[in-house]
Structure 1
């Protein structure tokens, strides 16, 4: 009887530890038209972080002028109790050859458009604005000036994304002047290059980039993990294009001939997945498994004392049957 009690006690301890080790999570929302179907609402409601990281618009520089791109619109179905975290993607070229006055103008314009959308759509927001930019050694100074300027103008807590190469090459790319960064644990290679690796996430490549993550000067690091998928179409000339949200089940077609678990060659000209594809074209599916995500999380647990997870992205195509309590 005593042994049974000890065994039960040990089981309860292990169970509690397992629950405590689960990372709180939520999602990125990266569509131009904000809308939530029942499946997405259900999944979002279960998320254990009270925020939804929502892309408001992109910014690019065209002919020397700053341009907002794909500014959000909102459907009445987009209803959530989560606080919205405005997120803005800015191209790296936006910060090439930019003057001090332009940096201030850019910060003012971005803050103004964010506030306009918050007011227009009656968003419940927290005190954060997240900036997503793949800055480089050549743009780091001006990008960092922009982050400081936006902080001062908005009065908000400015955070930013952190790509893998910006961790590995931190001496060249610099450390952003923010208190919190979001480590993007995906896009380990280009999908438009011929390779046998998974371009969304190759865990070996990721571990190489993040080998010294524990030495990164900013200690408040959240983690963005991929749950998306796509198909890479290769034509007769070896050129590639992407078809979003394809999975291995989409390869089940009598006009396709499989030559590996996740690759087919088209046997008949026709319209497939909204595109006209010729006989002889190849399609390679790239998607992410639970085992890959678990391996990344286990690796990061040794590097970062504590972190939240933001899954990219909230879309019923990607969240159905997904296990988020990893």
Structure 2
């Protein structure tokens, strides 16, 4: 009995241990295909001492006629000698359904070719790019094909390959598999379907985050956190539109109802959408205080390597107005405190 109680005490102690990194490489995601990095965004990169930028070069989606094709292609021209660029590709899970090894080999070759091409066009030095990152919400039925593609891409590119890791495959490794990559980026946000529960913040819900954290992972692990917001418009209690907007965009025509919820008091066009008087709007965002709370939970429940990358999603001057550069600096520092 004494031995058993000692074992329980050890488990409790381990559960409360704080894991900190010795060194954090500061990073952001840049996820806009049709705009340049603004002066304000560049100033934040400098002020927050950001050393790495994960840039979405393009997306890959299936097409019944053309096959797998790139979309949302990058048109970014940005030069910063002190900044590492990591070309990133978002690939829809449907691409890997019923795929053959031959088609996956071709896909790996095409992705590698396009990444190199857009790196040249964007004035990024191909020789200085050492890593590609793939972003795909793979499922149990597609993991074998997705993992084969990752191996093929590493072979044809000669680069380090990383991939994003959602919290579900992080926790359920036996079911979802471990991808054959050099590193994974644990995406600690977008935990729920925003339409499923009207009372919680689907971008970052602490109870949901706690329910997934705690597993050991066999690959080097980096951390991504959210610095974005959105508004969900409901008309006659039915979801109508997701807006990339802030309450300030409504010119004081929103009436607060309860936490996160507002009502439009007059007709107004926001983000190209016609909002009607009486529409209910749910505003989801994550404050600096909530992000600091998330970092504390991650440090308690996730074993961090000595050197990690911490990335915020994403670099957008409109949404980053919610945070001061000192706040972003502090959040990076929390991982080493």
Structures share a fold, TM > 0.5? Answer: yes
**CA deviation map 1:154-213 (0-9, x unaligned):** 01111100001111221111000112100001101112334210011101101101232x
**Alignment check: 8 A CA contact 1:27 1:311 kept:** yes
Is 1:73 the counterpart of 2:81 in the alignment?
no
Give the structure 2 partner of residue 146 of structure 1: 149
Contact persistence 1:26–1:47 (CA under 8 A): no
Whole-Å Cα distance in 2 between the matches of residues 49 and 267 of structure 1?
41
Return the TM-score normalized by structure 1. 0.87
Tell me the residue number matched to 2:226: 226
Comparing both chains, which one has the higher relative contact order based on Cα–Cα distances under 8 Å and sequence gaps of 6 or more?
2
- Preserved CA contact (<8 Å) 2:25 2:51: no
Specify the alignment match of 2:110 in structure 1.
109
Corresponding residue pairs, total: 301
- Structure 1: gaps of 5 or more residues: 1-18
Q: Does 1:289 align with 2:287?
A: yes
Gaps of 5+ in 2: 1-19, 332-337
Q: Deviations over 1:2-31 (max 9, x none)?
A: xxxxxxxxxxxxxxxxx9878442200000
Q: d(CA) in 1 for partners of 2:296 and 2:265?
A: 42
* In structure 1, C-alpha distance between the alignment counterparts of 2:98 and 2:180, rounded to whole Å: 20
| Matches of 1:154 and 1:137, distance apart in 2 | 26
Q: Deviations over 1:54-113 (max 9, x none)?
A: 0000001111610101101135xx332312110000000000000010000100010011
1:277 matched residue in structure 2: 275
User: In structure 1, how many angstroms separate the alpha carbons of the residues matched to 2:33 and 2:140?
Assistant: 30
1:89 maps to 90
Q: Is the 8 A contact 2:79 2:123 kept in 1?
A: no
Give the corresponding residue for 2:205: 202
- Aligned partners of 2:182, 2:176: CA distance in 1, in Å? 17
- 1:270-313 residue CA offsets vs partner (Å, 9 max, x unmatched): 32343111222111111111121111111222322343210100
- Matched with 2:62 is 61
Given the two structures, how large is their TM-score scaled by the length of structure 2? Answer: 0.84
Tell me if 1:163 matches 2:162.
no
Q: What is the alpha-carbon root mean square deviation over aligned residues?
A: 2.0
CA–CA separation in structure 2 for the residues paired with 1:250 and 1:104: 47
Secondary structure at 2:304's aligned position in 1?
coil
2:265 corresponds in structure 1 to 267
